[in-house]
Amino acid sequence: MIKRYVLLIGLGVSLATCSPKTYTKIPAGHGPDFFRYKASKTTGQPMAKISAHRGGGDLKGYPENCIESFAYLAKTMPVIIECDIDLTKDSVMVMMHDATLDRTTTGTGKLIDKTYNELAQYRLEDNMGNVTPYKIPTLEQVLTWGKGKVTFTLDVKRNVSFGKVVDMVRKTGMEDYAAIITYNAQDAAKLNKLDPKLMISVTIRNRAEYDRLHELGIPDNRMVAFVGVKEPDTELYQFLHQKGIACILGTLGNLDKQAAAKGDQVYRKFAENGADIMSTDRPLEVWQVVRQ
């Protein structure tokens, strides 16, 4: 009886420490392989990846930019977490989309007017206004939690320098798990100079935007292309895929609404047309379609 009890205890520990099969684990130095476009040898097209816009928020009880929300999604599906970085009064990088606390927390006022210690009193709210027990996390906490679980696309707000974000990515050993979002070619060039090994999410809605990035010396093997919030021409997908550049389609907004109205099968069409990653406010619905 005693031996059986010990065996069960050991089994329980083993199960408790087991990582879910949905976690993303990237071997050292292979981050670019994860973010690059590669045609499937069997179908010619890889399964589309899912990027959770702001890492959640539209799920009841799971606020945006919150580790607990990221963890819920990560245990449900392989997921890329798109999340937002802003700065406190005492220069701590925290996860927050808005410049103010009012919409997503129990606090009020501008984030930049609060110290990190002052934020401890507030709790995060989901997008329906439900107060949760969860606190505003720091970028360091998020990256430390995410290693071996998820990948990130990091949206850097104006108060935050790219240099500080790059330093934190290095400090936490997350170079293979993160791509940093830029919105213009000049910022992408700055990032590439800060660390040529990091992946950069760049906006490419047409050939001219690609040409500008290329002129500034950003190599194809460091680009992930955000092609916009409406489907681009098939020719743009083909052009970028020929260069090994994966394409992110922003379904958040109108395309998500279209799927909700017409049926979630439209996500499959987006993928067939060339979307390698779908950035969505409906990650669970997209997962049900692409997993098939």
CA distance from start to end of the chain: 45
pLDDT of residue 95: 98
Segment 84-130, tens digit of pLDDT: 999 999 999 999 999 999 999 999 999 999 999 999 999 999 999 99
pLDDT at 7 over 60: no
- For the stretch 52-71, pLDDT in tens is 999 987 899 999 999 999 99
| Structural domains in the chain, sorted by start | 21-290 (3.20.20.190)
With a CB cutoff of 8 Å and minimum separation 6, the contacts of 84 are: 54, 65, 95, 96, 97, 155, 157
Per residue in 166-206, pLDDT (tens digit) is 999 999 999 999 999 999 999 999 999 999 999 999 999 99
pLDDT-derived band at 224, boundaries 50, 70, 90? very high
| Per-residue pLDDT, 273 | 95
Please determine, for residue 75, whether its predicted confidence score (pLDDT) is greater than 70.
Answer: yes
When computed from its CA atoms, the radius of gyration of the chain, rounded to whole angstroms, is 20
Q: Work out the percent of the chain whose per-residue pLDDT is above 90.
A: 88
Please say if the pLDDT value at position 22 is more than 90: yes
pLDDT of 12 higher than 60 = no
pLDDT digits (tens, 9 = 90+) for 124-160: 999 999 999 999 999 999 999 999 999 999 999 999 9
Q: Which residues pair with 278 in a beta bridge?
A: 50, 249
The pLDDT mean for the chain works out to 92
At residue 292 the predicted structure's pLDDT band, cuts being 50, 70 and 90, is confident
Read off the pLDDT of each residue in 211-232 and give the average, rounded to a whole number.
97
What's the pLDDT at 56? 86
Strand-pairing partners, residue 51, are 80, 279
What's the DSSP call for residue 90? T
Confidence band of 44 (pLDDT split at 50, 70, 90): low
Res 11: pLDDT = 37
Q: What is the residue whose two structure tokens read 């974000």?
A: 165
Confidence of residue 42 (pLDDT cuts 50, 70, 90): low
Pair of tokens at residue 269: 């069409």
Residue 45: is its pLDDT beyond 70?
no
